[in-house]
Amino acid sequence: MSLAEQILEGNIRAAARLMRDIDDGRPQAIDELKQLYPHTGNAYIIGITGPPGAGKSTLVDQLTASFRSQGKKVGVVAIDPTSPFTGGAILGDRIRMNRHSCDEGVFIRSLATRGALGGLSRSTSDVALVMDALGMDIVIIETVGVGQDEVDIVKEAHTTCVVMVPGLGDDIQAIKAGILEIGDIFVVNKADREGADRTARELSTMLEMRHAVAGAWSPKVMKTEAQRGTGMSELTDEILAHHAFFLSSGTINNFLRERNQRHFMGILRDTLLQKALSFMAKDSVLDKVVADMLDHLIDPYSAVEVIVEHMMPNRID
């Protein structure tokens, strides 16, 4: 049996092997994903994002427990930063979520960013797809600690939770611009800290100042203490409320159309780049282009046009 066939039968080991192949960029993973794709589209994807130190992993741990108490199978994709010097990553989220390690209804996979920007790994979409095919009802994606414009999670998740914590200085400054606009739910975690009420009020004020579209979802600000489990049932209920709105309002149709287009364009971009690199590897084309650029014999724009023309010449049949 292929890995895809085993995964469709619920084989977790096969899923783990395929996720490893996906993350390593092995070509054989593509054939397996082709088999799995018709069996996906059932999992509800929740994105958890926010700055480093906001308690995202602890929040994910509590959400996992909450959804499991409702009988739902939960997959977790946890993104960790990659060292720019060694290329390594400390995949620590499994340690924080260790209590779920023996639960067959929970699958946790840590991924390194491998230099990708936007808070996600390049393989995030495909790994979430495997979890979907494996039969997970909920897939939670925890981004690496993000800044103001690293908002790729909104392109992947049905519901995006932006997690903040009091005591970061200028709280609103930390989440303005892109981050403030992507959240379906805002969470002030570690709400027992001084300044939590002020942070929640400022967030609410900023959200009220946004231009609201008639009939659109109105984000709420929730307060939690994930370490103690305080406020988690309310947060779970709000996520499920957004899920219901997402389905009943028809918002999901546009979301899926746009996500499918982005997924296709991403695969197309990566495939074309790999083909270009393979083409230029022949006869040291890349070295010649770089040498000619250094001598100002050619500009980079013309060089690209020449390479593309040689890769895909116009033909009249």
Q: What angle do CA 251, 255, 256 make, to 5 degrees?
A: 120
**CA–CA separation, 279 and 5 (whole Å):** 34
Q: What angle do CA 135, 140, 169 make, to 5 degrees?
A: 180
pLDDT digits (tens, 9 = 90+) for 57-74: 899 999 999 999 999 999
The pLDDT of 186-199, averaged and rounded, is: 91
Which structure tokens are listed for 33?
């994903």
- For residue 13, what pLDDT is reported? 94
Q: 19 lies in a domain?
A: no
Q: 5 lies in a domain?
A: no
**The length of the chain, given as a count of residues:** 317
Q: 157 lies in a domain?
A: yes
Same-domain pairing of 233 and 266: no
Q: 283 lies in a domain?
A: yes
Same-domain pairing of 173 and 68: yes
Q: Within a 13 Å sphere around the CA of 283, how many CA atoms are in the beta-carbon half?
A: 5
Is residue 4 pLDDT above 70, yes or no? yes
- For residue 224, what pLDDT is reported? 95
CA distance readout (Å), 40 to 24, 67, 132, 207: 22, 20, 6, 34
Nearest alpha-carbon partner for 184 in 159, 210, 215, 154: 159
Same-domain pairing of 238 and 134: yes
Indicate the number of domains in the chain.
2
Sequential DSSP letters for 157-181:
-SEEEEEE-S-SSSHHHHHTTHHHH
Of 226, 249, 272, which one is at a domain's C-terminal end? 249
Same-domain pairing of 190 and 293: no
Of 249, 275, 298, which one is at a domain's C-terminal end? 249
H or E element in which residue 44 lies: strand 44-49
pLDDT digits (tens, 9 = 90+) for 226-247: 999 999 999 999 999 999 999 9
Is residue 173 pLDDT above 60, yes or no? no
Pairing between strand 159-164 and 74-80?
unpaired
More confident residue, 254 or 119: 254
Same-domain pairing of 75 and 188: yes
The pLDDT of 275-282, averaged and rounded, is: 87
Residue 95's pLDDT band (cuts 50, 70, 90): low
Residue 317's pLDDT band (cuts 50, 70, 90): very low
**CA–CA separation, 162 and 175 (whole Å):** 9
Which structure tokens are listed for 73?
């199978």
Lowest mean pLDDT among 11-20, 86-95, 122-131, 212-221: 86-95
Same-domain pairing of 47 and 181: yes
Q: 35 lies in a domain?
A: no
Q: 277 lies in a domain?
A: yes
Per-residue exposure over 288-301, b if at least 16 CB sit within 10 Å of its own CB, e if not: ebeeeeeeeeeeee
Residue 88's pLDDT band (cuts 50, 70, 90): very low
CA distance readout (Å), 200 to 27, 124, 140, 168, 211: 47, 31, 24, 13, 19
Same-domain pairing of 63 and 192: yes
- For residue 199, what pLDDT is reported? 87
| Residue carrying structure tokens 């709420």 | 220
The pLDDT of 285-311, averaged and rounded, is: 90
CA distance readout (Å), 233 to 70, 110, 139, 160, 171: 11, 25, 18, 17, 25
Same-domain pairing of 69 and 97: yes
Q: 214 lies in a domain?
A: yes
Q: 167 lies in a domain?
A: yes
Same-domain pairing of 62 and 173: yes
pLDDT digits (tens, 9 = 90+) for 112-155: 776 555 556 678 899 999 999 999 999 999 987 665 555 678 88
Same-domain pairing of 106 and 202: yes
- Whichever domain contains 55, its CATH number is 3.40.50.300
Q: What angle do CA 58, 61, 65 make, to 5 degrees?
A: 140
Average pLDDT, the chain: 84
- For residue 176, what pLDDT is reported? 55
Same-domain pairing of 218 and 168: yes
Per-residue exposure over 68-92, b if at least 16 CB sit within 10 Å of its own CB, e if not: beeeebbbbbbbbebeeeeeebeee
**CA–CA separation, 108 and 134 (whole Å):** 13
Contact (Cβ atoms closer than 8 angstroms) between residue 173 and residue 203? no
Same-domain pairing of 72 and 110: yes
Is residue 46 pLDDT above 80, yes or no? yes
More confident residue, 90 or 290: 290
Q: Which domain range does residue 79 map to?
A: 40-249
Of 220, 249, 278, which one is at a domain's C-terminal end? 249
- For residue 48, what pLDDT is reported? 93
Across 60-158, where does the E strand assignment appear? Answer: 74-80, 106-112, 138-142
- For residue 87, what pLDDT is reported? 46
